[in-house]
Chains A and B, each alone.
Chain A
Amino acid sequence: MTSAATGTGLTRADFEKFREYFYKRTGIQFSESKRYFVDKRIDNCVRSSGFDTFAGWFGALRLNDRPELLQELINQLTVNETYFLREDYQFDALLNAVLPQVLTARGGTGRIVGPVKILSLPCSTGEEPYSIALRLLEEWPHIDTVDVEIHGADIDSEVLARAGHASYGERSLQRVPKPWVAKYFTSVGAGRYQLDDGIRGAVTLHQINVCDTAAMRAFRDFDVVFCRNVLIYFDELSSRRAAENLYGAMRPGGYLFLGHSESMSRISPIFTPTRLPEGIVYQRPTGAK
């Protein structure tokens, strides 16, 4: 019996209820074929949160009595690892589609007033903003003629300190082409590599809470924002406020990338979804509204 295989004895009806709840809450849908994967992870969540049964845990989850229950569930059901060039197809989209459109909207190369501004939020230990920097330097033909500002922001001062130090293990760098590692990193021993001063110095780091409207007013006129795999953790009101604060940080027509399994459709209608060959991105509308 399946109930013997999973400690919590998830029935088919339980699975259906859970699937609908998680879809409604996050927009992520698990097919029946993921049943075993989902069962195991739910089982982990139920056990670690101290409930005896799925029903008890699910009831508390739905009533939002303990916000950490949802956080752990999402951690279990999504990949939450940071490394260089993660979800790289979005950087392809940045180079191939988004930046060309930004240049056109801003008047074409040579006529751009002020730098193109890119925000990575949350930037965690720096892999994302530095990945953007590496790809621009190595692969974007206009990098010699257009100024680009890259900003990283996170709520956690500890990860920001590590981002500033920019020292990474081999695992974090495994997707970076070897010549890039040789060119931009210095071995500092114990299998760790530090990013060179030039790039570290070019990325500005900020400590900020994306839900803090007053603090977020310091961020303005970004052409591109990467906000990946964080809004999914927020409750309804916090994710709305975060989306509205990001909207305020962007230039009209600016582009917003969410994480691969995230969608604005569960958060806020204020952005316009746009299809690129690499997937959906969101734009702050250019109209008066």
Chain B
Amino acid sequence: MTQTQRKALVVDDAATVRMYHTTLLGDAGFEVQEAANGLEAVEAALATGFDLFVVDVNMPKMNGYTCVETLRSETVGTPAPVVMISTEDRPGDADRAYAAGANLYLVKPVAPERLVRIARLLTSGPGVAA
């Protein structure tokens, strides 16, 4: 392989969703790590660099918006692309996600090939994770 393997962090309190996104991204060639809430994602991002974050909205301890804000803040300061995926489709949710620093806000269910296409597109530049 000429390109180093891209690292993705899948953040969701639902074990089945983590499994699903991990399988999809893993099959697409990503090295995937998981976190079960926003705070755990922040700790994971402090410990190692990621090329992509896939983040749920409703999570205990730290929800997705606060998680993305923290990933973008000086606490972590990652420039890596963030895709938020939520069951919520109320007006204002997407705006909140973009204001927090997400690159894309998707509403579940997301077709598998669409998620993979987006993940590849967003990580097609030079990688940030060594």
Whether A and B touch (Cβ < 8 Å) is answered with: yes
User: Contact residues of A with B, CB < 8 Å?
Assistant: 20, 23-24, 27, 263-269, 272-275, 280
> Which one of B35, B36, B37, B42 contacts A273 once the chains associate, using CB atoms below 8 Å?
B42
In the bound complex, do residue B46 and residue A275 qualify as a contact, i.e. CB atoms below 8 Å apart? yes
Taking a contact as CB atoms closer than 8 A, the residue among B37, B38, B46 that contacts A274 in the complex is B46
**A20 x B15 contact (CB < 8 A):** yes
Residues of B within 8 A of A267 (CB): 61
Within B26-60, the residues touching A (CB, 8 Å) are 35-40, 42-43, 46-47
Q: Considering the chains assembled together, what is the distance between the CA atoms of A269 and B61 in angstroms?
A: 6
Find residues 1-19 in chain B having any chain A CB closer than 8 Å to their own CB: 15
- Contact between A269 and B39 (Cβ–Cβ < 8 Å)? yes
A266/B61 in contact, CB under 8 A: yes
Known: A20-B15, A269-B66. A27 touches B61 (CB 8 A): no
Contact partner, B39, options A20, A24, A264, A275, Cβ 8 Å: A264
Inter-chain contact B61/A273, CB cutoff 8 Å:
no
Chain B residues in contact with chain A, CB under 8 A? 15, 35-40, 42-43, 46-47, 61-62, 66, 75
Among B35, B36, B42, which residue has its beta carbon within 8 angstroms of that of A24? B36
Chain A interface, >50% SS class: mixed
- Chain B residues with CB below 8 A from A266, complex form: 40, 61
B36 touches A23 (CB 8 A): yes
Query: Do the beta carbons of A265 and B46 come within 8 Å of each other?
Result: no
A265 touches B43 (CB 8 A): yes
A273–B66 touching, CB < 8 Å: no
> A264-B39, A265-B39 in contact; A275/B47 too (CB < 8 A)?
yes
Distance, CA A189 to CA B43, complexed state (A)? 47
Contact present for A273 and B39 (CB under 8 Å): yes
Closest to A279 in B: B47
- Contact (Cβ within 8 A) A272 B36: no
Query: Which chain A residues lie closer than 8 Å to B36 at the CB level?
Result: 23-24, 27, 265
Assess whether B47 is in contact with A280, with CB atoms less than 8 Å apart.
yes
How far apart sit A269 and B36, CA to CA, in the bound complex (Å)?
14
Q: Are A280 and B46 neighbours in the complex by a CB distance under 8 Å?
A: yes
A29 CB to closest chain B CB (Å) equals 9
Chain A residues positioned under 8 Å from B39 (CB to CB): 263-265, 269, 273
CA distance A161 to B40 in the complex (A): 38
Which of A265, A274, A275 has the most chain B CB within a 10 Å cutoff?
A265
Closest to B66 in A: A269
| B residues in contact with A272, CB < 8 Å | 75
Instruction: Give chain B nearest CB distance to A269 CB in angstroms.
Output: 5
**With A and B bound together, what is the CA distance between A275 and B48 in angstroms?**
10
In Å, the complex CA distance between A268 and B61 comes to 6
Closest 3 pairs (CB-CB, A-B): A265-B39, A265-B40, A275-B46
Q: Is the CB of A265 within 8 A of B61?
A: yes
User: Which residues in B have their C-beta under 8 angstroms from that of A275?
Assistant: 46-47
Q: How far is the CA of A280 from the CA of B45 in the complex (A)?
A: 11
With the chains together, A268 CA to B37 CA distance in Å? Answer: 11
Residues from chain A with Cβ under 8 Å of B38 in the complex? 269
B39: nearest chain-A partner, CB-CB: A265
Q: Is the CB of B75 within 8 A of A280?
A: no
Q: Are B37 and A265 in contact (CB under 8 A)?
A: yes
What are 18 A-B residue pairs whose CB atoms fall within 8 Å in the complex? A23-B36, A24-B36, A263-B40, A263-B43, A264-B39, A265-B37, A265-B40, A265-B42, A265-B43, A266-B61, A267-B61, A269-B38, A269-B61, A273-B42, A273-B43, A275-B46, A280-B43, A280-B46
Chain A residue nearest to B46 in the complex (CB): A275
